[in-house]
Amino acid sequence: MSEEREISVNLKDGSSYTICVAKGALATIGEKVAALKPCRTAMIVSDETVGPVYATLVKKRLEEAGYEVYDALVPSGETSKSVEIASELWQELAQRQLCRDDLLVAVGGGVVGDLAGFVAATYMRGIDFVQVPTTLLAMVDASIGGKTGVDLPCGKNLVGSFHQPIYTCADTRCLRTLTDEDWANGFGEIAKSSVVCSERSFYEWLRDHAEDLCAHDDQALEEVVARTAEFKAKVVEQDATESSGIRECLNYGHTLAHAIEAAAGYGEIGHGRAVAEGMRFAARLAVQVLETDTDFVAKQDALLDSLGLEELAWTCNPDRLLKLMKGDKKARGGAIRFVLPHDFTSWELVEVDDDLLMVHLSAWCEAKEKLVEAG
């Protein structure tokens, strides 16, 4: 195992937890969890893709540490983030007689983490849970900060709760099995974090190591997971429930991204690529609204390109995008809000007037149409 990095998340309510990042970190998960929670029973929730590999390993480690361990595998993919699957898991927990002192362990990507976290948040009014993220996206974003939930047929993440894990174990060895789309999803959130992070050194490091990351260099991957997790931990410490405005920075690029993903049909355009596109759009909007320097836009474009997040060749009707943005749960009273950058490290949450937004959306759709035509 490489040297473990431990990142603390110290919340304002006095609670805290550790995010462990290392290649091979799963080797010690049993003893780490047992030290935190000497309980009898754990239920692992994973999916049918990663479960046979990583949940099996986690189960073995927990059993060695003295736990009685059950596991439940859900179908892979976003459709498992549903009330129906959550209900099946609640029933499984009840049938296995897990009680309030027992533990749930989420092993997988963002879908599994959100679903299992929500089940943990609600079963018996809340039991402890551990996050074992196995994708880059989950390691740098979804497994940190306690956002849990399920989707409804009419929208993503519409039912949920804030419920922080008691421990997050990010073993970068799990990244070996990622698909190209999984990498893009992680790189999109990492690029976003580097722009809104208050320390410019994050962006500079990412710019200088993009090639190593694209080559999946072990050291660079550990470093980027640790840096991004550290950044997110700091944000969550200040605004765990997204109520003071600070956590909103994590939504940079997401206003357009969510609309693009919904318009294309979920799963058609990966989240990371949609976020990258949303960042390009927001940066250009910022030039007009905040007088952001075009040099920033060029630097951000170059960063995204270097991470393999090239411009999206996809378009749709601008009215449809506007309508989808208005329906997003981040909109307030119909007003569409964007995180807009002044530069790296500095951003503002801005309500953008519909007319101005339509001008930009129309131009964006037109430009995209040309890209599509050019093939």
Q: How far is the CB of 359 from ligand GLY (least distance, A)?
A: 28
Question: 249: which residues sit within 8 A by CB, 6+ positions away?
Answer: 196, 235, 339, 347
Distance CA 196, CA 199 (A): 9
The nearer residue to ligand GLY, 51 or 110, going by C-beta atoms, is 110
Closest by Cα among 171, 51, 65 to 116: 51
Closest by Cα among 346, 136, 138, 328 to 249: 346
Distance CA 314, CA 372 (A): 6
Q: Of these, 47, 114, 128, 141, which contacts ligand GLY (CB under 6 A)?
A: 141
Q: How far is the CB of 9 from ligand GLY (least distance, A)?
A: 12
Q: How far is the CB of 106 from ligand GLY (least distance, A)?
A: 15
Ranges within 186-205 binding ligand GLY (CB under 6 A): none
By rule CB under 6 A, what count of residues binds ligand GLY? 6
The nearer residue to ligand GLY, 254 or 280, going by C-beta atoms, is 254
Long-range contacts: 294-302, Cβ < 8 Å, 24+?
Answer: 296/341, 296/343, 296/344, 299/207, 299/344, 300/195, 300/341, 302/207
Q: Which residue among the candidates 23, 59, 173, 254 is catalytic per the annotation?
A: 254
What is the DSSP-derived secondary structure letter of residue 130?
E
Half-sphere exposure of residue 314, counting CA atoms within 13 Å on the CB side? 19
Q: Is 247 among the catalytic positions? A: yes
- Report CA torsion sign: 176, 182, 187, 189: negative
Would you count residue 69 as binding ligand GLY (CB under 6 A)? Answer: no
Query: Binding marks (x or -) toward ligand GLY, 246..285, rule CB under 6 A?
Result: -x--x-----------------------------------
Would you count residue 109 as binding ligand GLY (CB under 6 A)? Answer: no
The nearer residue to ligand GLY, 145 or 160, going by C-beta atoms, is 145
The nearer residue to ligand GLY, 78 or 242, going by C-beta atoms, is 242
Q: Give the strands of the sheet with 167-171, arranged side by side.
A: 5-10, 16-22, 167-171, 128-133, 103-108, 41-47, 68-74
Q: Is 317 among the catalytic positions? A: no
SS3 352: strand
Q: Is 227 among the catalytic positions? A: no
The nearer residue to ligand GLY, 253 or 318, going by C-beta atoms, is 253
Would you count residue 182 as binding ligand GLY (CB under 6 A)? Answer: no
> What is the contact surface with ligand GLY in residues (CB under 6 A)?
141, 145, 147, 242, 247, 250
- Positions marked active-site: 125, 147, 189, 232, 242, 247, 251, 254, 258, 271
